[in-house]
Structure 1
């Protein structure tokens, strides 16, 4: 029995929305979209929102309201709607991808922090006790994971305070982008840095996105930009007045995130001429990893020029804007970390039958499976240290692991959508909140979202092969197969254990 279960503090609607923001909204996705396709990216982000994100969010709203007292999140939803075995396979696959996210982000989170402190990324120069930069970042990542786990284990109220800061940081980034962008537009008397034409919203200025195959690859990028909403499934039982607040929180967040992406991409054109910034200065080693910092630095610089300040002062404004985004993204990633440190594991451990796991793992403290959280931290730390200290072979191994989870990260969305079909068909399930009210309308929505996710996954698999990266395609296929077999074997062991107990 959980300690002080009845007196445990619940999440407010505001706290829930901020957690959703830290889990889903990626400010860098705005800049990356503009970097890759200019204004033309807007239509694909809107298409991804309409065909995947919004209907998927509405499905989660119905699920959450119906299973408001369930602790297991997506596992519980799928188990009741379809069956436990189906649910276990999807949940294990989804959980594995979150582990890899914690590993990669635990190592890379220091890049935005370095930008926040120094105005540029200096992580490649960091060294501690004779360790090289990669080993130093690995050691910092291991310490970071331990810190996150210790603080998270103190309870949801501690997590809420930190994710609130992360959520506010994410929201403010978009507000700053919009307000500063409009201010620059006013100062420049309505002159956009990137001219607005009908063609610019249809055709990308980037020659790399001139073929239908490359455009499809961007659609996949746009779909994945909306990932992460299902993580909040484990918070239904932790939310105040869940029947009302959980669907409301998801709906509001989904709409604001979708609109935020589209508006943010358009605002980029106010102060960033695509050809000048990203073609002529391509020698500046702009990548998808650092383009957000470069773009915000440019926004500060353009603000200085619009104010008729000297070039040196404008450069300094750009540096400070780069520092601001560095700190903001560090806080946002920190908020995501605190949510991911417990929510996926909570859904995996508390939703599934207790007999699957060692007894210690299922015990809760402060409303969380604390022992399992420390086991999770140990696994993540071991992988981080192996990758950081293992040399070239370890890095290649980690690249293989990432390839294996590329598809596994989104296949569980298909599991959830298919489970929603079963959920709607089962009239015995009480549904206090209904978004899809038409008797057969939900079937078309399920078919559409399943097709979109399926297309994204198939294209993610074949796209590397089209460019000669056959090993990446192979491991993308292998990943879901391995995770499915692992889940089925684990569940079969549980079934045999139950059968043995019944006989005895």
Structure 2
């Protein structure tokens, strides 16, 4: 290998780092502790073994086989199954991005509030006499419109925003774990949340997660925490000595990520007593929700560091507020960067993958390298969904519960169809497969069924559980996005097939 080639390849260490930064999400640990306490840990470990590792290797095989295809998921599915399946799955995947944008555009105001005030004050915000939920909906709509306008000006504008925030978010993990250790030392090794052997990891302190069905619905949350691995699959051909380094690198990254989540969740328990801080009658019981859980818990970390070393009450509160400010600033930068990327990257992949005629010509036009008209349509659609959810209910906690449920289902459901297509991919001998992990038919079938079944059951439990417990609106909103976009995809593909048959008929008549 020449020196130039070496420079162009990715080392195993770089691959591990890229996998970690792409997949690992800081928010997942405080939120998981809020929902499940220590019992979230085994769910993450199971998800690593039964979903993350095998699915990552599937993505590696897809990525290596179609490394010269620019259409991403569409190209993978078209060659493995057929174009109709590919279009529906790709639109579902794209729909998940739109739902994620709905979530981010609303949630970004919470870290901004923490950055400015040191605590979440969004529950008291009001514009034009509107409730706080509706106010966030209006602010989110303005944010979407602004980012769409800036992004449409070209890729250089996006790069300036996305280049900041990554290091700050990585530092948050050190603050969480390092701060937890400081509290542990200051309190003489005493955990704020007692760890009572087996009962601590099989029962949740949250009243909404007391029965097996509710706990199983949490599984989709853990699968969402490992999202983004499909991006890493395209790096096989760019990895140095891929046959050896790629599977080894993914395994090491998987262990690091799974262990990191487990340690992070445990660290929250070091300084957070669930009942006293997060419970219904606890310090944050009346204001905590899935949108602000991370910031309230990190505020508590700062407070507990001060308390552990004998600081005064006012000093403890100041430390807590400044910890929340640091977290808020870091998360604002990270979420803003992610949002700018989401406004154009998925659209460009969708347009690049689909054959001419499947999408309206006006939508596929590029200006300064950007699909401007498609971005405007995307922005309008996202704003409509935001306003529908925001003006559909006035309870802040329920509002963010619905947004998180929508995002978790929408983001993980496409994985089920991508993994299900893997058997077809392996059976087609005409597809050149330069990189192979699953070498025999039996292992391919078993792994495919395990991954597909796990995602299917996780989403089923997540969708059905709220309705069984009386929250029908959460169930309906969880499936509304994917169903709506599937109907659109089938309608568009039906028109495409009709247009093709008409063209063929005209050609035959000639």
Q: Match of 1:5?
A: none
After TM superposition, the structure 1 = structure 2 runs for residues 2-17 of structure 1, keeping only pairs within 5 Å, are none
After TM superposition, the structure 1 = structure 2 runs for residues 96-111 of structure 1, keeping only pairs within 5 Å, are 96-111=95-110
Evaluate the alpha carbon distance shift between residue 253 and residue 368 of structure 1 in structure 2; reply closer, same or farther with a 3 A threshold: farther
Residue 154 of structure 1 contacts residue 366 of structure 1 at CA under 8 Å; is this kept in 2? yes
After TM superposition, the structure 1 = structure 2 runs for residues 155-194 of structure 1, keeping only pairs within 5 Å, are 159-160=158-159, 162-194=161-193
Q: Secondary structure at the match of 1:88?
A: helix
CA distance in 1, matches of 2:117, 2:405: 33
CA distance in 2, matches of 1:138, 1:317: 31
| TM-score, normalization by structure 2 | 0.83
Q: Secondary structure at the match of 2:27?
A: helix
| TM-score, normalization by structure 1 | 0.84
1:375 to 377, 394, 402: 377
Displacement, 1:494? 0.9
Residue 97 of structure 2 contacts residue 342 of structure 2 at CA under 8 Å; is this kept in 1? yes
Evaluate the alpha carbon distance shift between residue 356 and residue 400 of structure 1 in structure 2; reply closer, same or farther with a 3 A threshold: farther
Question: CA deviation digits over 1:379-411, x for unaligned, max 9?
Answer: 3235445666x6769x99999999887645432
Cα RMSD after superposing both structures: 3.7
CA distance in 1, matches of 2:267, 2:129: 45
Evaluate the alpha carbon distance shift between residue 481 and residue 358 of structure 1 in structure 2; reply closer, same or farther with a 3 A threshold: closer
Evaluate the alpha carbon distance shift between residue 350 and residue 302 of structure 1 in structure 2; reply closer, same or farther with a 3 A threshold: same
- Verify: 1:337 aligned to 2:339, yes or no: yes
Residue 54 of structure 1 contacts residue 255 of structure 1 at CA under 8 Å; is this kept in 2? no
Q: Match of 2:416?
A: 414
Gaps of at least 5 residues in structure 1 are 1-9
Residue 113 of structure 1 contacts residue 326 of structure 1 at CA under 8 Å; is this kept in 2? yes
Residue 64 of structure 2 contacts residue 237 of structure 2 at CA under 8 Å; is this kept in 1? no
Displacement, 1:452? 0.4
Q: Secondary structure at the match of 2:191?
A: coil
Q: Match of 1:450?
A: 452
Residue 291 of structure 2 contacts residue 400 of structure 2 at CA under 8 Å; is this kept in 1? no
Moved more, 493-502 or 276-285: 276-285
Aligned residues, how many?
489
Q: Secondary structure at the match of 1:202?
A: helix
Residue 28 of structure 2 contacts residue 225 of structure 2 at CA under 8 Å; is this kept in 1? yes
- Verify: 1:277 aligned to 2:277, yes or no: yes
Q: Match of 1:467?
A: 469
1:427 to 422, 429, 438: 429
CA distance in 1, matches of 2:309, 2:246: 44
Q: Match of 1:28?
A: 27
After TM superposition, the structure 1 = structure 2 runs for residues 137-216 of structure 1, keeping only pairs within 5 Å, are 137-153=136-152, 159-160=158-159, 162-204=161-203, 206=205, 208=207, 209-216=209-216
- Verify: 1:58 aligned to 2:45, yes or no: no
CA distance in 2, matches of 1:290, 1:174: 17
Question: CA deviation digits over 1:347-405, x for unaligned, max 9?
Answer: 222111121122233234555434322332233235445666x6769x99999999887
Gaps of at least 5 residues in structure 2 are 1-7
Residue 12 of structure 1 contacts residue 240 of structure 1 at CA under 8 Å; is this kept in 2? no
Residue 407 of structure 1 contacts residue 479 of structure 1 at CA under 8 Å; is this kept in 2? no
Residue 9 of structure 2 contacts residue 239 of structure 2 at CA under 8 Å; is this kept in 1? no
